[in-house]
Structure 1
Amino acid sequence: MDEISIKIDEKSDIDIDKPHNDKLHNNNPHNDKPVTKIEISPNEKYLVTYSQVDNSIAGWNVKYSLKLDNILDLSDRNVQIKRDLTNDESESNKTLYQISVSDDKEVAFINDENKIEIYHMNNSQEIILDCGYYCDYVYCTFNVNGELILYGSNHTVFIYSTQTNNKKWDCKRVYKLFKDPEDFKFITISKYNKLYLFSNNSIYKWNLDTEKSIKILIIDEKIEGKDWERKKYIENNIEISSSEKFICTRVKNEIIIYSIELEIPIASLDINNVTQLRNLIKYPALRSRLFPLLCPLFSNKICSGFWDSVKGWKKCLGHSKQNDKLLTKCDISVRATNKIAYVIQDGDIWKVDLEKMILYINSLPINNSDEVISKKMDKTYSHLNIFSLISYNSYMDTISKLFQEAESGSKKFILEQNFVKWIINYRNLADYKGIKLQVIKKNNINNRWDLICTRDEKFKVDYWIEPFEMNLFNDNEIIILTNVGLLIYHFNENDKTISLNYYYYMKFNKINHSRDLRDLRDYRKEFSKSTLPLPKYNSFAICDGWASVIKNNKEYLLKYGIELLNSAIKGRDLELVDQIYKICLNHFEKDFRNKMFLSIITSTMPLLNEYYPEYIEKFSLETTMIIDSPSYSIEHQSSNLHLFSFQYPHMVNLSRSILWFKYNELMSSLLENHERISLILNSFQFLIILLTFPIYFITFYILSYFNFIDDLITCGLFSEFYFKIVSYSSNYKRIPTITFINPYIKFVNYSKYYNWFTELILPKPNPFVETINRDIYRTWSGEAILNFKWNKYGKYYHLAIWFGYIILLICFNIAAKISQEHVDIQRKLLITSITLGSMYLILEIRQFIYDPTKWIQDIGNILVLFVYIFPICTSIWCLHENDHEKIIPYITFSCLLLNLKLISFFRIFENYDAYYTIVVRIAKRVMFFFVYFIMVILTSFAFAFHILLSPKMNYSLDKRIINDDPNNPWNMAPTYQVFDNETSTDSNLFILQTPDENTNMFTTFSTSFFATCLLLTGDTSSFYNWPYEDNPTLMILLILFAFIMAIYILNVFITLFSEAISDHDGSFLVTRAEYLAKIELFYLLPHQRRWKEWFPEVIYYHANVDETRKKVREMIDNRDWKTNEFPDMKIKLLKKLNIDDYITNKPVDEFTLRKVLKETKN
């Protein structure tokens, strides 16, 4: 090629007969050599072009007009560039691996050695990075915040801040692909900080800001082969272009449009089917938001379909001096902004006005077959256009204007625009309240208005429906404001129907016009926000048409489905509840990418638990052991990963280890440049390791566990020794494991909209906290959630709570025992006890404020309250009271309560926790019965003993009274005889022990009750003074008491305990769920509850294959293995586990037989 030129289409109409040869002033940036690569900055301010032959980079200002800015000559700077292996000698075969540019004119590229190089286009000054020098990179880009993002060949992401005044950029964040990195292949990183990876025939998106990951696409084609073959497949067949709302992915010749808001694919189109593209871009909302994303996906594609259809475009591409014919392969590169596309074709740069290009595409004729396809696709794109309008809140300006006009009092019933007329009639009959909409269109032939379609909307209200105002958003959409709410309707010209797109119920007091205006202003505030408010419960209850629209539209169901299901549950509409439940499961079963539909069910579980708890059991059993991919995979992994939960892909934030990277890079530099110094340092490190090995290993383990160090870069004995030991131990024992998805999507998430200070006092719960239902934890899905939470934060907070309590316990116990001579030490210990006790007391008070009724109903909370109040009050009293003897009883009980509370802290040990839970739950279950039952028995026997054994005559303990009453304490007091010597038989002295209150404990009812309580423990010393032979009544009472208390009650307790042991799994997991919910609400701060690493939307978990096989067989035997939903998936799992013959050989029960016969008959 002789020259490089930038062609710009300046005309409003595209003339396909004239080549576009307009050239820029100073159009020779690469010495007449062809352009190889082109990139534009994130905010579309600057553009760079690279010439492989000229080995130069040119910078262009593109904010207002395309103007050459500066040229960077790479040859003069000795930049290492990659050569084509087919022809090492040809200069034209040199190329940079990848290039990117920032809005501040900094250009970054990857050279021949896979190293990153950065230059400023203004002064050609090189910029260096503070770490990551020794890494090899495969991709570089700048984000919209001006940060540099690098992806290394070791599956590591570096993010650098470019806001520095010197020539060095600082590393801010580092992420590393932790689990099975070799299974993942890099695709791209968007300017919105989204990392896209490929693994197991699926494409994943990982958000570098929120650290949230999600699977966005499953590729039906099985991609196998060696590592380089899969990498080649991705480079040639997968491209991604994204915005803040949509992700467009090209897989071979298919483009899938994915909604970031709904997290599902919402449309697809064939890259060679121009009709589909034309059908898409005829909608203004889709054209402006999707077309700029679609253009880059047509890079390097065969010239059929899209490019062939645009003949004016092909005319431009045909302007080549090397070949007079059009190339059969469009080896092009496209970079698009919202309005302009920059294209490299055959070494030339073309600037294309997208609006003019769209006009030209729409002007092309349509053949009959294309028209049939167009009508089929129109309904899909019509829904997509409406959804796009709602997602981008395009209606808000029109709605704001509508409220202003409504307040002025003007009313319209007919609206006309571009030969389309809307007529609205309000029907207020005795048995029917509704709105009738008519669309009529002017006939160009006879100038008559023809009725196109009508729609009747019925409302379940008992008052007249009156209009406030209405306005047209465009020819096909109308917004109506009435006293029953705001409605948005859409007219579809192709199928001649009117559909309801949005309804928000409004309640007016209907007292007078001024009151209506006041209510109208209040609703105007709700619609003054940036997004349409979510419909309320009454929106679905009053308008059946709105509920039907949401139920039958996939996008609407995801957006408003939670509110619809909540409305159905509260309205006790079981039929609608069941329909939504089945629709959500069917959407996921048909397409595994639709897993977000499961979140509609899981988000409403608190209400289901209250109204229809059977649906929780149904969902738990039907969705156990499922996966969001076409097949299950078994891998050999560590033996301790059974029910280990994780996010997929598992990216680890290594930002804490940046200093560690810098240290290792320094060691690498010493090894490379100063080998002798490096040898001395390694010898010194060896001596340290040898002398402090246990401490060294424990220290490095802790640092590694909390990501302060990593094996990303290891240089020096300190690094290499530890990580080699860890690597060896991790490969010691591996067992086959299978991976499942947890069906409880968005079950553990908290709302991202919150007030920090309000939530500190009154935290808003998530579905996990609100739904403590045992059926959730009957399956592994629930248990995996608990394991994830426990391993992420639960056990650490438990240890912290335990540690703080131990300090409180030790301080108070020492202060209680310490000698009065050490008053200062005692005072400090008491102050510490008051401080720690107050902290724990505040947490208990927060729980009471959160839910007073639930808190009071749990007797354990009241006991815990005494545990903290007693020591605090006693400590305060000790600080102000000099008489230590007076407060000893209170100190005693305080120590007792604190020490007993220690029992609950051993729950960190699973075996202990299981039995502790059993005891606690039994106590809660039968506490009232036992307290009442035992108290009545003790009181009855105590009174009986008091009647039988109390003195019947007057007596005094101060003066001896002689009478015949056997219960008289003086008659019961021990007597002693004195003899002269050992052989004497006659005593000459009689000694009587003075009786006291304990001689006959049955003289008063209170002491009688205490003696009966002692008898309950087996202490019969209170009855020693009565001979049993002379007291048959006493014998009968003692026998009855022993039978009732020691035999009957004890056996009842043993039976209850046995039943609890047989059912301890569910109880233990429910108790752990309650404890974790308590930690989440009252120990975590509001912003911590929004950490995606701790509270992800989607969780996967591993399971031991042998344990899975046992569990499935157990569920089959217990008839818990449900195949009504996901039958194909369950069959695949059984075959994968080699237990399909287990079902075949099992005897068929009557229920199964009837079901099979019914299905056969149908």
Structure 2
Amino acid sequence: MEEFSVKIDDKNDKDDDVQDDDDDDFDSDKPFNGKPTMMEVSPNEKYLVAYNKEDNSILGWSIENHDEGPLKLDINFKLRDIGEGTLYQMCVSDDKKLVYTYGIHKTKLAIHDMMDRDRKITVDCDFTDRCDYCTFNLKGELILYCDPYIYIYPTKTKRNKWKYKRMYEIPLYFMPISISPKDKLYLYSNNSIYEWDLNTEKGVKIFGNDKEINPNLEDELIYSKDNIQISRNENLVCIKIDSKIIVYMIDLEIQVASLDINYDIQLRTFVKHPVLCPLLFPLLLSLFKNKLKGEFWDECKGKSLGHLKQSDQLSKEFFQNYIQVTDDYVFGFPDENLWKIDLKEVISNILNVCSSFKNSDESNNNNSDEIIENWYFDKKETYKSCDRLNLLLFNPYAYPDVIKALFHETISNFEYKNKLEVFGNLKKWKVIINNMGEIELQVFKKLNDINEWKLICKMVEPESIEGQSLVGIKLFDNSNIIILTIWGVFIYHFNENNKFISLIYHYEIYLYDEEGFLRDYKKAFPDPAILPLPNSKSFRSDIWVSSIKNNKELMLKYGVELLKFAIRKRKPELIDEVYEKCITYFKEERNNRMFLSIITSIMPSLNEYYPEYIERYSLDTLMITYSSIYNTKDDELHLDSFQYEMFNLSKSIWWAKYNAFMNQLYKDHKKILWILNVIQILIILPIFPIYFATLYMLMEFDFIIVYDKKVDKYRDIFSSLYFSVYNFFSNYKNSSMIYFTNPYIKFITYPKDYNWFLELIKPQPSPFVETTMNRDIYKTWDGEAIINFKWNTYGKYYYAFIWILFMAFLGCFTIAATTPQQYIDDNIQKQLLVASVILGFIHLIFEIRQIIYDANKWIRDFWNMFDVIAYVLPIYTSIIWLQTNEMNTIPLLSFSCLFLDIKFLLFFRAIEYFGVYFAIIISVAQQIISFLVVLFIIIISFAHAFYILLIPRTPFSFDERTNNNDPNNPWNLASSFNLISEDGSVNPNPYIIQPPNGNTNMFVDFRTSLFAMYKFLTGDSSALSNWTYVDNPALAILIVLFSLLIVVYLMNLLIGLLNNAIEKDNNRVSYLIQKAEILAEIELFYLFPYQRRWETWFPEVIHYSADVDKVREKIKEMIKNNEWDINDESKKNLMKQLNIQHFTNKNTL
């Protein structure tokens, strides 16, 4: 087990660790001349500490109850434990607990209570990994990153020690960037950045780049700390990475802008935005020294914090080294003192500079926003202005008073109008119904103070409306307006730079009169402050549909509803347009994966009405490369699905304490450790199988973790013995793996809103559950990867539990039914029968739930019918047996055991080695079912013919001999024995007659006639051997016809059809579909509703690894079958990475 020290050396006393500055020459009025090396603020902005590396001094200020201005120094001391080492990072809590990392070659951790520096604080579990990062969160908890683990410690001190309560493992190849006080962990891996919430344990990828940011990168940890900065609010994340600033929108999960720091005009434009400015300001501080030059930036530097120095501007070094920005304040050393400044005032100063400043570019161009290029990192799109971001940041929910006021005014003064006007700040909107019955929107700009207005934009809706139709109008701001009409609600956006008006929201509702308006309005808008999703009627507007298709953000918000509308109304052209837009948007930028969720969310409807789109989607999104980096691992399998997540290892706290104890013994008491190891071996060897199984289960459920498999085996015999055996029998081979993203985004997730009681009766399905029978999904690796992920995550465990429960049912009934009475006690037999009834009803309840959920689907599944018989027969038999105290219905008992045994066999269908054959049985039977129906009808026809021909024509009785001349009389067909006299003559009167029965002439009854035909079909013609064929030519003709038509022709035809069906069908696909059905059944009927909402079991995005050699083979096979689009850019790149060359003219590889 690896180690790192997380406590102050006990051998050092106070004078060695820290020293008050009273002992040294220290000017408390001018601490380190106002030039700190490092500054940190506590999570809730109550305390600030600064460090100077020249004299290793630490200073602290209380900042909570102080107004703006210079702050009074609270604490100062010098660190003595650093020595010649370097202080890498520090953090401080609200209650003045100082934590820092330092060292020369190996990082150490130290904790100081600044209120009582005689008090030594340690943390439990002596980890020996280096501590690379420390911080406090808003709860006052200490968060440590010790590669690759995150430890969270409540700072409640007990015996001068902090005990950790949570522990997480960071995925392989991920490096931390920072941890915010709000428990947001930012990680860097493979040119991508992720945000993880340590509370919800949910992560999201907020940035990704196809090209390597730093191709010569050797130390990603150093790179991530030195080159990446992040600022965040509730809706946006701004990431500064090298010379780029990426803007990511949280609710839509897409990148909305990429700013080039070297492109001055572009950067200035975004700094002017009131929402972006507070986010960009902390990221641009370090650039004021040498990057941001010019009159505009000098004005920003001078006036943003200029009131701190009335005469001189702040130095450039101040913005780079001597300032700290929090959510509410700015702290810095503009002089020898620490100053506290309101961040809102700073941002206001910058915005004032932006609004008043005019540079040479603006004076030469009427349009203040020049062409802003490179919105997206791949440089495939160019936008004319930052209006797109304005549109994105516009949120009508932020203006609830405006919406409420509009509806209230309309209700109080309901009147139809053909003209409406509304005035804003230097702008006026006018909406009219023109002579053509069209809606005309006009935007005017105020020219001067005498109310002169100039028309700057006009738009005419082409849809004609008769009569007066306008009801009300309100402004959100100068650029956004909401209009009420008799046919619904409209919100329009005005692009001032491009002079263009666009529709951004529409909800169709007919408001014919005041009474109807009140009724329909309250129904559609129960909360006026919340705008509902557009209804299906809204999509009848071509303008609204066009607005959605041509706007990425509107497509993300309303694309699913639009696609539902297109499918419901059978609009194939609209379906194709939406599909193409989603695929195009995704291919333009691989981070736009949420566009794929529009298609996957609606796949059940596509599967029902337009299944060709599922095959098309599977081919269009095949092999989406997640990482261009190949990794060689010895424990990873082909198509091994996974999701990048934080692993919560908090259950392994006691294991960590055990390891800490063993490490301490290894350091200080090796003889005791040796004796303890011997004792462990002596205990383990006699119970080795139990030990091995127990340790496997504990590790499987994270009660035991391995910090380092290469740890000295003599230090921890308990786990090293297990790994020695495990590695010896392991058959993993080293292989190069490439990682793909599964394109079925949000395909396996369930609706977040649910009713717990209704979910038990009729659970809401996921798209996966509703499309389990679609073969096109499972023809590709993506579908198989989904199955692997589900099976390995929860499926195999629940399936094993169901199997064990059934085996208990089978065992109880079988023992009670088959054990001879002399070997089993009556009471035990009754107990077994009662257990059989209980267990059988448990299984039957789940079958009943399936019938309630979807009776039609349940009936169509052959295995369901078989399952019910296997459950009902033993239950019924057991109840009869218990009531009568004896079992006289032996056939019922026999069939019960038969179906139970076959049901046990059916459990093997989830195992691939056996499941393929079960899949063949069902899939082939489905293909030849019509032929079997035809064959059955023909057999019935022959049975009917033989029945007519051979039925007795005179009355007879099996109990009394009937003597007549009817050749079909069973008594005349029965075996008889005649006496032979001495002269050899035969007495014509039978001497002995064997009494006939139902089998003598099987054509007495039509049911036995059918059975006789079945026997004839199998080669047993004894049922027709009692008649002479010479005397009965009709019988001979029927036999010849039956044998030629059925036995010779149709049966051989059936064999041929079976061969063709087996060869035609992809048996592996059938097996995967069968396994998908099993998983769907487990999800719906065995998992609790809240379990179906677990992010770890049902993530929005999953990834899978693939063997590089198999990927090459698969691509070559698909090219040969014309299933690989060699013109697609992403597929070209993948072929290039795998060194696959395609020769079109030769059609060879």
Q: 1:99-148 CA distances to partner (integer Å, 9 max, x unpaired)?
A: 22345554433243534444555555554433364332111223344443
8 Å CA contact retained: 1:131, 1:662: yes
Unaligned runs of 5+ in 1: 1-25, 89-93, 1149-1162
Map of 1:890-901 to 2, 5 A cutoff? 890-901=892-903
Instruction: Name whichever of 485-494 and 42-51 sits farther off.
Output: 42-51
Assess, with a 3 A threshold, how the Cα gap between structure 1 residues 328 and 122 changes in structure 2: closer, same or farther: closer
Q: Tell me the distance in 2 between the aligned counterparts of 1:823 and 1:895.
A: 20
Q: Tell me the distance in 2 between the aligned counterparts of 1:298 and 1:145.
A: 33
8 Å CA contact retained: 1:257, 1:266: yes
Q: Does 1:540 align with 2:535?
A: no
Residue correspondences, number: 1086
* 2:389 maps to which of 384, 393, 396: 384
8 Å CA contact retained: 1:29, 1:58: no
8 Å CA contact retained: 2:287, 2:320: no
In structure 1, the partner of 2:39 is 38
In structure 2, the partner of 1:341 is 330
* 1:611 maps to which of 609, 612, 627: 609
Give the partner amino acid of 1:1058. Answer: N
Q: Does 1:712 align with 2:713?
A: no
8 Å CA contact retained: 2:491, 2:504: yes
Assess, with a 3 A threshold, how the Cα gap between structure 1 residues 333 and 219 changes in structure 2: closer, same or farther: farther
Q: Does 1:471 align with 2:462?
A: no
Q: Tell me the distance in 2 between the aligned counterparts of 1:678 and 1:639.
A: 31
Assess, with a 3 A threshold, how the Cα gap between structure 1 residues 1072 and 219 changes in structure 2: closer, same or farther: closer
Q: Tell me the distance in 1 between the aligned counterparts of 2:629 and 2:497.
A: 46
Map of 1:494-893 to 2, 5 A cutoff? 494-508=497-511, 510=512, 512-529=513-530, 532-541=531-540, 543-628=541-626, 632-638=628-634, 641-647=637-643, 649=644, 651-712=646-707, 715-723=715-723, 726=726, 733-772=733-772, 773-818=774-819, 822-882=825-885, 884-885=887-888, 887-893=889-895
8 Å CA contact retained: 2:369, 2:386: no
Assess, with a 3 A threshold, how the Cα gap between structure 1 residues 977 and 171 changes in structure 2: closer, same or farther: farther
Map of 1:435-446 to 2, 5 A cutoff? 435-444=439-448
Assess, with a 3 A threshold, how the Cα gap between structure 1 residues 233 and 343 changes in structure 2: closer, same or farther: same
SS in 2 for 1:906: helix
Q: 1:564-590 CA distances to partner (integer Å, 9 max, x unpaired)?
A: 232333333333332332222222323
Q: Does 1:223 align with 2:214?
A: yes
Q: 1:61-99 CA distances to partner (integer Å, 9 max, x unpaired)?
A: 3366369699566648x6x33x6xxxx3xxxxx653222
Q: Does 1:953 align with 2:951?
A: no
Deviation at 1:925, TM superposition (A): 4.2
Q: Tell me the distance in 1 between the aligned counterparts of 2:984 and 2:877.
A: 61
- Calculate the TM-score normalised by the size of structure 1: 0.85
Instruction: Name whichever of 721-730 and 1085-1094 sits farther off.
Output: 721-730
8 Å CA contact retained: 1:296, 1:336: no
Deviation at 1:196, TM superposition (A): 2.5
Deviation at 1:346, TM superposition (A): 8.4
In structure 1, the partner of 2:357 is 365
In structure 2, the partner of 1:416 is 423
Deviation at 1:256, TM superposition (A): 0.7
In structure 1, the partner of 2:142 is 148
In structure 1, the partner of 2:1042 is 1041
Deviation at 1:29, TM superposition (A): 9.2
8 Å CA contact retained: 1:841, 1:865: yes
8 Å CA contact retained: 1:795, 1:908: no
In structure 2, the partner of 1:214 is 205
Q: 1:916-966 CA distances to partner (integer Å, 9 max, x unpaired)?
A: 112112334444652x43442232222222223333333332222333333
Unaligned runs of 5+ in 2: 1-26, 373-382
Q: Tell me the distance in 1 between the aligned counterparts of 2:588 and 2:582.
A: 10
Q: 1:500-559 CA distances to partner (integer Å, 9 max, x unpaired)?
A: 222222345x4x533421222233324445xx4322222222x22222222222222222
Assess, with a 3 A threshold, how the Cα gap between structure 1 residues 1144 and 141 changes in structure 2: closer, same or farther: farther
- Calculate the TM-score normalised by the size of structure 2: 0.86
Map of 1:930-941 to 2, 5 A cutoff? 930=932, 932-941=933-942
Q: Tell me the distance in 1 between the aligned counterparts of 2:186 and 2:65.
A: 29
Q: Tell me the distance in 1 between the aligned counterparts of 2:735 and 2:839.
A: 46
8 Å CA contact retained: 2:300, 2:350: no
Deviation at 1:806, TM superposition (A): 1.6
CA RMSD in angstroms comes to 3.7
Q: Tell me the distance in 1 between the aligned counterparts of 2:287 and 2:846.
A: 59
In structure 2, the partner of 1:907 is 909
8 Å CA contact retained: 1:192, 1:243: no
Give the partner amino acid of 2:641. Answer: S
Q: Tell me the distance in 2 between the aligned counterparts of 1:166 and 1:564.
A: 63
Deviation at 1:1117, TM superposition (A): 2.0
8 Å CA contact retained: 2:924, 2:1062: no
8 Å CA contact retained: 2:28, 2:73: no
Q: Tell me the distance in 1 between the aligned counterparts of 2:439 and 2:112.
A: 65
Give the partner amino acid of 1:150. Answer: L
Give the partner amino acid of 1:594. Answer: N
In structure 2, the partner of 1:401 is 405
Give the partner amino acid of 1:454. Answer: K
Identical positions, percent: 43
Assess, with a 3 A threshold, how the Cα gap between structure 1 residues 1037 and 173 changes in structure 2: closer, same or farther: farther
Assess, with a 3 A threshold, how the Cα gap between structure 1 residues 302 and 274 changes in structure 2: closer, same or farther: closer
8 Å CA contact retained: 1:922, 1:1056: no
Q: 1:397-429 CA distances to partner (integer Å, 9 max, x unpaired)?
A: 322332333332356922223332222224696
In structure 2, the partner of 1:492 is 495
Give the partner amino acid of 2:593. Answer: K
Q: Does 1:135 align with 2:129?
A: yes
Give the partner amino acid of 1:652. Answer: F
Q: 1:39-65 CA distances to partner (integer Å, 9 max, x unpaired)?
A: 233444444434443532414233663
Q: Tell me the distance in 1 between the aligned counterparts of 2:66 and 2:542.
A: 51
Deviation at 1:776, TM superposition (A): 1.7
SS in 1 for 2:659: helix
Q: Tell me the distance in 1 between the aligned counterparts of 2:66 and 2:758.
A: 47
8 Å CA contact retained: 1:484, 1:506: yes
Q: Tell me the distance in 2 between the aligned counterparts of 1:1059 and 1:58.
A: 83
Q: Tell me the distance in 2 between the aligned counterparts of 1:989 and 1:746.
A: 84
In structure 2, the partner of 1:1071 is 1074
Q: Tell me the distance in 1 between the aligned counterparts of 2:1049 and 2:913.
A: 29
Give the partner amino acid of 1:400. Answer: K
Instruction: Name whichever of 715-724 and 57-66 sits farther off.
Output: 57-66
SS in 2 for 1:831: helix
8 Å CA contact retained: 2:411, 2:514: no
Assess, with a 3 A threshold, how the Cα gap between structure 1 residues 650 and 449 changes in structure 2: closer, same or farther: closer
Q: 1:1073-1118 CA distances to partner (integer Å, 9 max, x unpaired)?
A: 2322222222222222222222222222222223222222221222
Q: 1:681-704 CA distances to partner (integer Å, 9 max, x unpaired)?
A: 122223344444444333323322
Q: Tell me the distance in 2 between the aligned counterparts of 1:701 and 1:1037.
A: 68
* 2:238 maps to which of 248, 254, 257: 248
SS in 2 for 1:967: coil
Assess, with a 3 A threshold, how the Cα gap between structure 1 residues 163 and 831 changes in structure 2: closer, same or farther: farther
Deviation at 1:1006, TM superposition (A): 2.5
Q: Tell me the distance in 2 between the aligned counterparts of 1:551 and 1:1021.
A: 75
In structure 2, the partner of 1:23 is none
Q: Tell me the distance in 1 between the aligned counterparts of 2:392 and 2:410.
A: 26
8 Å CA contact retained: 2:387, 2:497: no
Q: 1:125-174 CA distances to partner (integer Å, 9 max, x unpaired)?
A: 55443336433211122334444322112x11223344677754443332
Give the partner amino acid of 1:654. Answer: L
Q: 1:1105-1143 CA distances to partner (integer Å, 9 max, x unpaired)?
A: 23222222221222212245xx22222333333331454
* 1:351 maps to which of 340, 344, 357: 340
Assess, with a 3 A threshold, how the Cα gap between structure 1 residues 1029 and 234 changes in structure 2: closer, same or farther: same
Assess, with a 3 A threshold, how the Cα gap between structure 1 residues 817 and 667 changes in structure 2: closer, same or farther: same
